[in-house]
Homo-oligomer: A and B are copies of this chain.
Amino acid sequence: MPTKEEDFGEWYNETVDKAKLCDKRYPIKGMNVWTPYGWKIMSQIDSFLRREMEATDHDEVCFPLLIPETEFKKEKDHIKGFDEEVYWVTHAGLNPLDVRLVVRPTSETAMYPMFSLWIRSHQDLPLKVFQIVNTFRYETKQTRAFMRVREIHFFESHTCHADREDAERQVAQDVEIVDAVCHDLCLPYSLLIRTDWDKFPGAFYTVGIDTVMPNGRTLQIGSAHYYSTNFSKPYDITYEKEGGEHEFVHQTTLGMTERLLGAVVGVHADDLGLILPPAIAPLETVIIPIFKKDNQEKVMDVCRQVAAALKAAGIRSKLDDSDGRPGAKFFDWEVKGVPLRLEIGGKDIENNVATFARRDNGEKGTVELDSMVPGVRMILQAISANMLEKAKAKQQSFIHEMEDMGAESIPEGQIVKIGWCGNPECGHKFEDKYDIKILGTPYHPENWTGKCVCCGKEGCKPAYAARTL
């Protein structure tokens, strides 16, 4: 098996397989089976999204999977963007359908005809809903588990507002939601307003949420969009103001997918296997008893006590009392990415400690049996902090400033920060010369100006460019 650096793609695929996060042998390419372990992690990520939605007054709903072609085609840019990548239901039973049905690639066109019925007056605003469902896109590129699949586990929130100002406040709130979830996942990310030629079909603007893989390629893990009235006009979503006039609502969406899990694998795993952020690890600690014939009872006793104490404190843990040698157990749980291993043997008990081994950095040490719960909590916090810091430093290391287009090429694995005047022509020239993509301009303004990398104009704001995974 190649290392993470030698061949990211192959390393990634094997890491996913070894940890049994999904089964790719399902007879449709790009539609994978969620195994119990993978699904547990994804469900935990979902629970963080639900937590944030509840805290920000979004209601959970569930809209139908199938969308009539007639509804789907109402917004022109949107259908142009999805025309070549949707699945069509054309028959029911033995008969052709009168109106073909799209298998949702995203739910704007399912939701907005209903929003048009739901919203009457300013008192119905803001409307804030979300759902966690699967979406479907006919990928023609090489598929990759969690990152590029044809059935996609998908979170989407949709909001309607009285005006642009309130809608953009929502985008700002979305950014905080993303921050909270990425923090749980120990994932550094950037927020970049996409170029006009790369925004979501139908959006007024798109804020891309990107993280960086170990090979320096970026991975979009989500996006927030301000739609303005681009959808509310064709779907006729209006509200009556206090004065009686009718206005179109301003809309936003936030979307994130199972790529969050793919990003966790790509960013954190190493050549031994997964390294899971404690917040999403199905098991935060595993306890391995180390005994000889003469002290088995005693060791098992202490292990059981420790397991019970951790469990009572709400720390997800397991005593691995299966047959098999400790070394083999270490290996198995490393592959699965359990953040913290506790070993308890005769000597440990004499010293009133458990030996611990951190999965993130291999560090070993001891924690006192009498203060197991606070001790384990502290180590788990240290693991989370270290994982995030390490990933941030790594992400930063890929970024290089670029002043002009004098260089022949931009090396594979480099993310470049450029000055850009904002003119699409300059943008296209740059992208074409280096076969690279402008990811966008910072959502949070940076205190930086420079010359446009293409036309040389002074005092330009920064943009970032990279090759995407």
Contacts and interface: CB of A to CB of B under 8 A. Distances in A.
A234 B40 CA distance: 31
Contacts of A331: none
Contacts of A94: 83-84
Interface of A: 23, 25-28, 31-36, 39-40, 43, 59-66, 68, 70-71, 83-94, 101, 103, 110, 113-114, 117-118, 129, 134, 136, 138, 140, 151, 153
A148 to B, nearest CB: 15
A82 to B, nearest CB: 9
Tallying the copies of this chain within the complex gives 2
Contacts of A92: 85-88, 138
Contacts of A35: 61
A36 B64 contact: no
8 contacts: A26-B110, A34-B61, A65-B134, A66-B87, A84-B93, A87-B89, A88-B90, A92-B138
Contacts of A91: 87-88, 90
Nearest to A50: B43
A241 B110 CA distance: 51
B114 A23 contact: yes
B27 A68 contact: yes
A25 B114 contact: yes
A85 to B, nearest CB: 6
A70 B89 CA distance: 17
A33 B86 CA distance: 21
Contact of A60 (B40, B63, B90): B40
A151 to B, nearest CB: 5
A136 B64 CA distance: 10
Contacts of A153: 62
A89 B86 contact: no
Contacts of A34: 61-63
Contacts of A40: 60
Contacts of A32: 64
Question: Quick one: which of A28, A43, A136 has the most chain B CB within 10 A?
Answer: A28
Contact of A129 (B36, B63, B101): B36
Contact of A88 (B59, B71, B89, B136): B89
A121 to B, nearest CB: 16
A113 B27 contact: yes
B64 A31 contact: yes
A28 B61 contact: no
